Amino acid sequence: MKDKYIVSSAPHMHDKTTIPNVMWNVVIALSPALVFAVYYWGIRSLVLTLLGALTAVLTEALIQKLRKVPVSVADGSAFLTGMLLSYNINPGAPWWLPVMGSVFAIAVGKQVFGGLGNNPVNPALLGRAFLLASWPTLMTSGWLKPKTGNLSGLNDLDAIATNLQDLSPKAYALVTGATPLKVVQSLRDSSFVASVNANAGEGVDIANRIFTNITEMASLKNLFWGNIGGCIGEVSAFALLLGAAYLLYKNIIEWRIPLFYIGTVFVLTFLFGPLKGSGYSMMLPFFHIFSGGLMLGAFFMATDYTTTPLSKNGRIIFAIGCGVLTVVIRLVGGYPEGVSYSILFMNVMTPLIDRFTIPKAFGRIKK
């Protein structure tokens, strides 16, 4: 009989998960956040996101043509990188900002290393770091107010001062013009606190009032729904958790990194987050996990396959490292937010972590 059947190595079955399947599912999981962004800031959030995503796709296709390798943009990974990059910029940014970021993310962050699976750091975060270094003003100011609230997420401005005009100009600018994390960061600066309290009466601590107010339930609700100023895709913890639940259910991301990342931030901000003179509060760690880019970072960026450790213990070390760095930057560093730099730093640490966390095989004695 002649040979007529396919001969290949076992196994002869597959669970049908493919790279496009994984990537487009992450895109689906990210879309609730975009719905919220459109609701808060209008159609421009959608336009900026699509600009970033499509630029990434075009850049990847072009470079792959130049490299004379198969064009693989249909797998969704470039689209996802562009989408994540756009999620990390201000909804009020000019149209060319996500375009520049995506070109850099794909070209320098991914393709120079050989494309999918070979990049040492998360390309979207590298793109963001590039934008932050090149156009810092565009990346850190001029935030758009959400349609239904204010930038800081402070729910009850009346409780801070009976007449807002009585506040010192700096305090006024702070509560109306800064994002929640910027508010909290400013309040850690003693000379700033002194000037905030300058116009207030004897013994009135405006700074502490603002701090208390921003960690109250009503303000936390604004954080949870995303009714604050911030980057396109990061504001709504609710929308991101919805997407994260989908990815966990679909077995596309694994629980260790998000849990240990967010858990570390929770514990450390509870311990070290309070201002001088304000006591420990359970509200403060919730403020920290729902604010800034932590939800987006912990579920969608720190879980990036290529740039995170392979072993389970390695992933835990990675996540705790991200958490510690994020808290250090938020509480001590010069930036109000530290998620993206933390993840980038731990990305670079990944080969080292991998090297020291090779698991012991089933039945091998632990040394």
Partner 1 sequence: MRLRTFPGGVHPHDEKHYSATAPITKAPLPAKVTIHLSQHIGAPSTPVVAVGDEVKTGQLIAEASGYVSLNQHTSISGKVTAIDRFPHPCGTTSLAIQITGDGKDEWVDMVDEADYMNLPTEEMKARITAAGICGMGGAGFPTHVKLSPPEDKPIDTVVLNGVECEPYLTSDYRLMLEHAEQIISGLKLLMKIVNAKKGVIGIEANKPDVIDLMEKLLKKESNLEVVGLKLRYPQGAEKQLIFAATKRKVPAGGLPMAVGVVVQNVGTAFAVYEAVRYKKPLIDRIITITGAPLSKPGNLKARIGTPFSELVEFCGGATMPVGKVISGGPMMGFALPNLDATMSKGSSGLVLMNEKSARLMDEKNCLRCARCVDVCPMNLLPSTIAGAVKYKNLDMAVNAGLNDCMKCGSCAYVCPAQIRLVQWIDTGKIRYAEAMRAKK
* Residues found near partner 1 in the complex (CB under 8 A): 1-15, 17-19, 21-22, 114-118, 254, 305-312, 315, 354, 358-365
| 128 backbone dihedrals φ, ψ, rounded to 5° | -65, -40
The closest alpha carbon to 91, from 49, 151, 149, 33, belongs to 49
Name the minimum Å distance from CB 339 to partner 1.
21
Q: What angle do CA 55, 343, 127 make, to 5 degrees?
A: 20
Q: What is the largest CA-CA distance in the chain?
A: 101
Name the minimum Å distance from CB 115 to partner 1.
7
Cβ atoms < 10 Å from Cβ of 213: 20
Task: CB nearer to partner 1: give 118 or 134.
Answer: 118
CA distances from 65 to 73, 81, 236, 259 (A): 11, 19, 38, 40
Name the minimum Å distance from CB 4 to partner 1.
6
**Cα separation of 222 and 228, whole Å?**
6
Task: CB nearer to partner 1: give 276 or 366.
Answer: 366
Task: CB nearer to partner 1: give 188 or 250.
Answer: 250
Name the minimum Å distance from CB 336 to partner 1.
32
Name the minimum Å distance from CB 176 to partner 1.
44
**Cα separation of 92 and 69, whole Å?**
37
Task: CB nearer to partner 1: give 19 or 27.
Answer: 19
Name the minimum Å distance from CB 56 to partner 1.
17
Check if the beta carbon of residue 37 is closer than 8 Å to that of residue 225: no
Task: CB nearer to partner 1: give 123 or 338.
Answer: 123
CA distances from 174 to 92, 113, 153, 191 (A): 19, 43, 11, 14
3 state SS for 129-187: HHHHHHCHHHHHCCCCCCCCCCCCCCCCHHHCCCCHHHCCHHHHHHHHHCCHHHHHHHH
The closest alpha carbon to 62, from 53, 72, 52, belongs to 72
Task: CB nearer to partner 1: give 98 or 314.
Answer: 314
CA atoms within a 13 Å half-sphere pointing along the CA-CB vector of 165:
0
Name the minimum Å distance from CB 28 to partner 1.
16
Name the minimum Å distance from CB 72 to partner 1.
8
Name the minimum Å distance from CB 334 to partner 1.
32
Task: CB nearer to partner 1: give 25 or 236.
Answer: 25
Task: CB nearer to partner 1: give 276 or 364.
Answer: 364
Name the minimum Å distance from CB 260 to partner 1.
15
DSSP at 309: -
Task: CB nearer to partner 1: give 242 or 252.
Answer: 252
Task: CB nearer to partner 1: give 1 or 133.
Answer: 1
Which residue pairs from 244-249 have beta carbons closer than 8 angstroms and sit at least 24 positions apart in sequence?
A: 244/29, 244/295, 244/299, 244/300, 246/25, 246/28, 246/29, 247/25, 247/26, 247/29, 247/299, 247/303
Which tokens belong to 120?
A: 């040492």
